[in-house]
Structure 1
Amino acid sequence: MKRLITITLAASLLAGTALSGTAMAAGQRHDDNRYEQRHDDRHDRRDERWDRRDERHDRRDERHDRRDARHDYRRWERGQRLDARYRDNRYYVSDWRRHGLRAPPRGYRWQRVDDRYILAAVATGLIMSVIIANN
C-alpha cells in the first residue's frame, strides 16, 4: 500500500514538473522577447543621450575657442600674486622714470600687464602696488 501511494505521488510530481517546465519555458521565450525589446529601446535612448552630450561638448569647444580669441584680462590688486608668465622679462619695465613711476624698492620691479604697471616682488610675485597706465 505504501508503495502504491509513493509511486502515485512520484508520478504526479513528475507530471506536474514536466507541465510547469514546459509552461515556464514558453513564458520565458515571451519574456525574453520583451526584455530584448526593452533593452533595444534603452540602448537607442542611451545613444540619443550620448549624441546630445557630444553636441554639448562641441558647443563647449566653440565657446572655449572664442574665449581664447579674447584678450586674457584680469583685475590685479595689492596682495595678490602675479602669475609666473607675467614675471618674464618681456613685461619688465626698465625705464620706470620715463613712465612717471617711482623707484622700485630692493627685491621689487615694475611689470607692465594689461595696461597697468604692477610693482611686484621678484622672488614671489607678491603685488605691492598697481597703477593704471595712462598711455
Structure 2
Amino acid sequence: MKRLIITTLAATLLAGTALSGTAMAAGQRHDDHRYDSRYDQRDRRDYGHDRRDYSHDRRDARHEYRHWQRGQRLDARYRDNRYYVSDYRRHGLRAPPRGYRWQRVDDSYILAAVATGLIASVIIANN
C-alpha cells in the first residue's frame, strides 16, 4: 500500500513538473513577443512618429548639402520657373547664352541648359 501511494505521488509530481514546464515555456514565448501590434500602435502614438515627417526631413537634407559643379546635370525640380533668375543684371550676372538660363538654388547661381539641365557655370551668392 505504501508503495502504491509513493509511486502515485511521485508520478503526480513528475507530471505536474512537466506540465508546468511547458506552460511556463508557452508563457515566456508570449511575454517575449515584442512585435505585438498593441505595443506598436501605442509607441507610434506616444512619440508622434509620422512617415511624412521623415520623408520631409530626407527631402530637405538631400538638397541642402549639394555641391554643384560644372558638367553636372541640374535636377529637374530646380529647373522650374520658381528658381529662374530673370533679372540677372541686378545680381551681377552676365547675360546667359541662347539655350541657357540662370537658376538660383540655395546660395548659388547656376547657369544651366534649358533642355538638358547641363551646368555650364556655378557662382556662389554673397547675400
What's the TM-score once normalised by structure 1's chain length? Answer: 0.54
Q: What is the Cα-based RMSD across aligned positions, in Å?
A: 3.7
Instruction: Quote the residue 2:25 is aligned against.
Output: 35
Distance change >3 Å, CA 121–CA 40, structure 1 → 2: same
1:94 deviates by: 2.1
In the alignment, structure 1 residue 104 sits paired with structure 2 residue 96? yes
Distance (Å, rounded) in 2 between the aligned partners of 1:96 and 1:47: 57
Q: What is the distance in 2 between the residues matched to 1:92 and 1:47? A: 50
Q: Which runs of 5+ in 2 are unaligned?
A: 1-10
**Structure 2 length normalisation: TM-score?**
0.57
CA distance in structure 2 between the aligned counterparts of 1:124 and 1:133, rounded to whole angstroms: 24
Letter in 2 for 1:84: A
Q: Which amino acid aligns with 1:125?
A: G
- In terms of fraction of residues, the more helix-rich structure is 1
**What is the match of residue 79 of structure 1?**
71
Amino acid at match of 1:35: A
Percent identity at matched positions? 62
1:1-60 residue CA offsets vs partner (Å, 9 max, x unmatched)? xxxxxxxxxxxxxxxxxxxxx99xx375344323323323323xx259x66xx47xx487
For residues 88-119 of structure 1, the C-alpha deviation after alignment (integer angstroms, 9 at most, x for no partner) is: 11221223233322222222111112132100
The structure with the larger Rg is 1
